[in-house]
A = this chain, B = another copy of it.
Amino acid sequence: MSETAERVPRGLPAAFRQYECGSCPLSTLKFFRPVSDEQAAFVRRFKRGEALFAAGALILREGEKSNSLYTVLQGWGIRSKVLSDGRRQILNFVMPGDFIGLQTSVFGEAEHSLEALTEMRVCVFDRERFWEVYENNAELGYELTWIAARELQVLDISIVSLGQRNALERTAHLLLDLFRRGCQRGLTENGRLPFPVTQQHLADALGMSLVHTNKTLRRLQELGVIRLRSRDFHLLDEPRLAEIARWEEGDEEEGRRPYL
């Protein structure tokens, strides 16, 4: 968990292993759609390998060139941008099954940073050969657009939260979202989610100060809807949390993308 360098240089990532897509840890999750052998074989051609990053590693640095696309296999990460005066906004939390790299400009300049929150295993694809997908496998190209489109919806939802919900609602909404996504990815166990997210992370994602984030979390715990202990998020009253969050129908993630 700590032998990897804090900052991983470009080029080949820290560690490599070659798994077959068929035995990909994501393939067992009911949240994802199974894929045909031939589709898996096709995707395999673009896979450069797998990389393992230590907790805290900076996988992608805003403004730097990146020739990789990733699918997260294990672990949590954050996607973020910082203003030149240092203020940081976390764009979203990244979990197993999330695909990363579309947001990057065509020229390969990352427009955001990506940091590992826990040890993180990713499947690495070659950006240079991205174009070949469209040339050779229309279905997968379609799928990619679809993935991007869903990502758009997710960001729309964040924008609504940041713009319209107050501190309590916003915090509740984020927590519920994380919990439900964690659930989909098979990370929860009877109401508990291992939670490698600090209050500072939450603050940076919610656009709130650390102090106010703390007080808001405290309030949610006093209300008895959640319990946040060291790195463990216990959801006590999901309906109530959804109520507080002003959760909307459309905020639900409608799943079923292929697991590649």
Known: A134-B134, A134-B139, A146-B106. A83 touches B160 (CB 8 A): yes
Known: A156-B91, A250-B63. A148 touches B112 (CB 8 A): no
* Complex Cα gap A156–B155 (Å): 7
List, in ascending order, chain B residues with CB within 8 A of A63's CB.
Answer: 249-250
Q: Is A180 an interface residue (CB 8 A)?
A: no
| Least Cβ–Cβ distance between A38 and chain B, in angstroms | 16
| Least Cβ–Cβ distance between A112 and chain B, in angstroms | 6
Which residue from B85, B102, B138, B152 sits with its C-beta under 8 Å from A134? B138
Residues of chain A having any CB pair with chain B under 8 Å: 62-63, 81, 83-85, 87-89, 91, 102-107, 111-112, 131, 134-135, 138-139, 141-142, 144-146, 148-153, 155-160, 162-165, 204-207, 246, 248-250, 254
Copies in the complex: 2
| Least Cβ–Cβ distance between A85 and chain B, in angstroms | 7
| Least Cβ–Cβ distance between A110 and chain B, in angstroms | 10
Asked if A156 contacts B248 (CB within 8 A), the reply is: no
